[in-house]
Chain A
């Protein structure tokens, strides 16, 4: 059934033609519009006004109802009335104790979920004493070498009560193993643990660029993680499919959604190929999108993404459970939009992007600190970021009505147009042989680099406005004296001392044996590597040792050179 009757549409068309001839023509005659053409950031043309005639072709079933297929209007039937989105600010730096202290501060400030950033050596599977870790330990995230570090990270925090997001990728299965080992040691019920691992390998090769192994073994590790977690820790999302980074590296809104859906398809094929039913793991797939600058485009992006995902799961994978078709998303505001110049403006940028995420129906959100163009955020900056979300949630009454922009002629048209473009990109990926092959060939990488360069050229030419940078430039404004989060110079040495203590205090023969067994298991494709990895971390094998054992089997990844 369509939303409007044919006669109503014809009437509107007639009246619009008359309006164009009379009022519009007169206005354009006396004052031309500022630009010859208008479009969204991702290039979808925009009309000056939308009417019912513009959405006459959209069947009512494409909108549906919140919490029901195709989920255009929201993931849940009650949305924020039933549960507000989770305020989940990511944090991580220095030794585990330093991050633990920040967590406690943020919980006290009103944060409702935890989220961990790891340092680069941890992400890349290197111990803090590895020469390649020089200068990087505890810098952009917390340093984790052994299961004891995970214990310190969550000291005094009840993991049965708060959900924990772990922004960990190539080494995700090891950190998951450590998390499970800590939970077991504390006597928790593993079925009560709630949280999310990022663990999205394909987007790493094309966007965030953290890798250890070649592409296919990395996808196999994810498969093992998804399948193990589905049974052992059923409330943990083993993956956060991260469009965010596709945008961060230069992708537009269509590329963000289309490419992440292409990766979703690849992972689902991998897991169902190993014999697991789609409905046994799809309800725990979760997403992570950006909320960027083009306000309405971003809101429509969230709505289109929900609809595309629901259709992929229902039509392509024949899912039967509605939960398998429900896209749940954590959102972060756009770090790329932040400026060093007049950095207080970043508060306004972030607040508007956060509002967009809420109107788009997010389940969880991180708002960027106003000082993130300088360094990792200070406590004060994080407090303002949390307050931004609290003001949106509690002061301005945008949470009472679900999908409040639904039904807007413009919003529905743009949602539909974006969906159409996303399907076109997905068809192209299928025609070219699928996501894994195209990641190996560098196809996505080239598309994203081209898009990044095009965006730069638009900013450089002043077509894309950045207030204070290429428009309304205040020549007298000086670079701010920003208080920058200090780096703890002692951090590396403490991690190294602890590693030495662990290595001298454990049963080294047993660790060697376990690592050998793990490597042996990795040689055959049909063994799940999680049980052995959990055994190894319990025996105090380090993250670096475990990752190195598999590097010997699989080798390292060689990056295709794309500029």
Chain B
């Protein structure tokens, strides 16, 4: 599958976004072989309803593919949902790929089933925020907005 059709535009038109409109762009991604996409799709809709431009990767993406899609789509944030228990090695690899492709300005938000005992490992891998399972829509949206605000973008 080529990079061009790996992702699907979920909402909004790209042309007049970025610094002019300040619209936040998010890549909602599934990493590895985890097929649980209920949460990822709900989060994509929440962010879209909050006025962000959301691109969804679809399933079974390697860290490399996710970073390539994020760069190509010029997103501000990658939101990764993982429920397969393999978050520690996969986020480590995602962080490595971001640095390798000089894309570590892109924020990474983690969600899914992630036990607190693994939070430290995720921070070390370059994860910027972890959203708990029971998060309400407001928390998900403000987590993304706060990251961007801290960088001074919006």
> A449–B86 Cα gap in the complex (Å)?
24
> A223–B37 Cα gap in the complex (Å)?
28
> A479–B62 Cα gap in the complex (Å)?
31
B93 to chain A, nearest CB (A): 7
A210 CB-CB contact with B under 8 Å = yes
Let me know if A373 and B133 touch, CB within 8 A: yes
Name which residue of chain A comes closest to B11, CB basis.
A563
> A124–B34 Cα gap in the complex (Å)?
10
Let me know if A139 and B8 touch, CB within 8 A: no
B56 to chain A, nearest CB (A): 5
Name which residue of chain A comes closest to B118, CB basis.
A484
Cβ contacts under 8 Å, B137 to chain A? 456-457, 460
Let me know if A456 and B42 touch, CB within 8 A: yes
Let me know if A452 and B41 touch, CB within 8 A: yes
Most A CB contacts (10 A, CB to CB) among B38, B48, B116 go to: B38
Per the 8 Å Cβ criterion, residues 172-210 of A in contact with B are: 204, 208-210
Name which residue of chain B comes closest to A123, CB basis.
B33
Q: How many residues of A contact B (CB 8 A)?
A: 44
Name which residue of chain B comes closest to A469, CB basis.
B134
Name which residue of chain B comes closest to A451, CB basis.
B38
8 Å CB contact of A140 from B62, B85, B89: B85
Per the 8 Å Cβ criterion, residues 71-120 of A in contact with B are: 120
Let me know if B33 and A484 touch, CB within 8 A: no
B102 CB-CB contact with A under 8 Å = no
Per the 8 Å Cβ criterion, residues 234-282 of A in contact with B are: 248-250
A174 to chain B, nearest CB (A): 17
Cβ contacts under 8 Å, A341 to chain B? 134
8 Å CB contact of B86 from A136, A204, A373, A558: A136
Let me know if B45 and A453 touch, CB within 8 A: yes
A284 to chain B, nearest CB (A): 26
Let me know if B115 and A563 touch, CB within 8 A: no
A441 to chain B, nearest CB (A): 15
Contact with A along B1-12 (1 / 0, CB 8 A): 100000010100
Let me know if B89 and A134 touch, CB within 8 A: yes
Cβ contacts under 8 Å, B132 to chain A? 340
8 Å CB contact of A135 from B41, B90, B136: B90
Let me know if A460 and B136 touch, CB within 8 A: yes
Cβ contacts under 8 Å, B41 to chain A? 449, 452-453, 562-563
Per the 8 Å Cβ criterion, residues 109-151 of B in contact with A are: 113, 115-117, 132-134, 136-137
B40 to chain A, nearest CB (A): 9
Let me know if A563 and B90 touch, CB within 8 A: no
> A304–B54 Cα gap in the complex (Å)?
40
> A160–B4 Cα gap in the complex (Å)?
53
Cβ contacts under 8 Å, A126 to chain B? 33
Cβ contacts under 8 Å, B105 to chain A? none
Let me know if A561 and B56 touch, CB within 8 A: yes
Contact with A along B76-104 (1 / 0, CB 8 A): 00000000111011100100000000000
Let me know if B33 and A121 touch, CB within 8 A: yes
Cβ contacts under 8 Å, A408 to chain B? none
Name which residue of chain A comes closest to B138, CB basis.
A460
Let me know if A140 and B56 touch, CB within 8 A: no
Let me know if B134 and A139 touch, CB within 8 A: no
Let me know if A250 and B38 touch, CB within 8 A: yes
> A453–B42 Cα gap in the complex (Å)?
6
Cβ contacts under 8 Å, B38 to chain A? 248-250, 449, 452
> A191–B44 Cα gap in the complex (Å)?
50
> A374–B117 Cα gap in the complex (Å)?
10
Per the 8 Å Cβ criterion, residues 126-150 of A in contact with B are: 126, 132-136, 139-140
Cβ contacts under 8 Å, B17 to chain A? none
> A339–B120 Cα gap in the complex (Å)?
22
Contact with A along B25-39 (1 / 0, CB 8 A): 000000011111110
A559 CB-CB contact with B under 8 Å = yes
A466 CB-CB contact with B under 8 Å = yes
> A121–B48 Cα gap in the complex (Å)?
32
Per the 8 Å Cβ criterion, residues 460-483 of A in contact with B are: 460, 466, 469-470, 479, 482
> A59–B54 Cα gap in the complex (Å)?
53
Let me know if A135 and B89 touch, CB within 8 A: yes
8 Å CB contact of A209 from B42, B59, B136: B59
Cβ contacts under 8 Å, A562 to chain B? 41
Cβ contacts under 8 Å, A208 to chain B? 35
Let me know if A561 and B58 touch, CB within 8 A: yes
Per the 8 Å Cβ criterion, residues 39-87 of A in contact with B are: none
Let me know if A563 and B35 touch, CB within 8 A: no
Let me know if A132 and B117 touch, CB within 8 A: no
Cβ contacts under 8 Å, A563 to chain B? 8, 10, 41, 44-45, 48, 54, 56
Let me know if B8 and A561 touch, CB within 8 A: yes
> A126–B132 Cα gap in the complex (Å)?
31
Cβ contacts under 8 Å, B44 to chain A? 563
A375 CB-CB contact with B under 8 Å = yes
Q: Which residues of B contact A (CB under 8 A)?
A: 1, 8, 10, 32-38, 41-42, 44-46, 48, 54, 56, 58-60, 62, 84-86, 88-90, 93, 113, 115-117, 132-134, 136-137
Extra pairs beyond A209-B37, A487-B85 (17, CB < 8 Å):
A120-B84, A132-B33, A132-B60, A135-B86, A140-B85, A209-B35, A340-B132, A373-B113, A373-B133, A452-B42, A457-B137, A484-B115, A559-B58, A559-B59, A563-B8, A563-B48, A563-B56
Closest 9 CB pairs of A and B: A209-B35, A561-B8, A135-B89, A120-B33, A135-B86, A139-B85, A563-B44, A456-B42, A469-B134
Question: 30 A-B residue contacts at CB 8 Å?
Answer: A120-B32, A120-B84, A123-B33, A124-B33, A132-B62, A135-B90, A135-B93, A136-B32, A136-B33, A136-B86, A209-B37, A374-B113, A375-B85, A375-B113, A376-B85, A449-B38, A456-B42, A456-B46, A456-B137, A482-B115, A484-B115, A559-B58, A561-B8, A561-B10, A561-B58, A563-B8, A563-B10, A563-B45, A563-B48, A563-B54
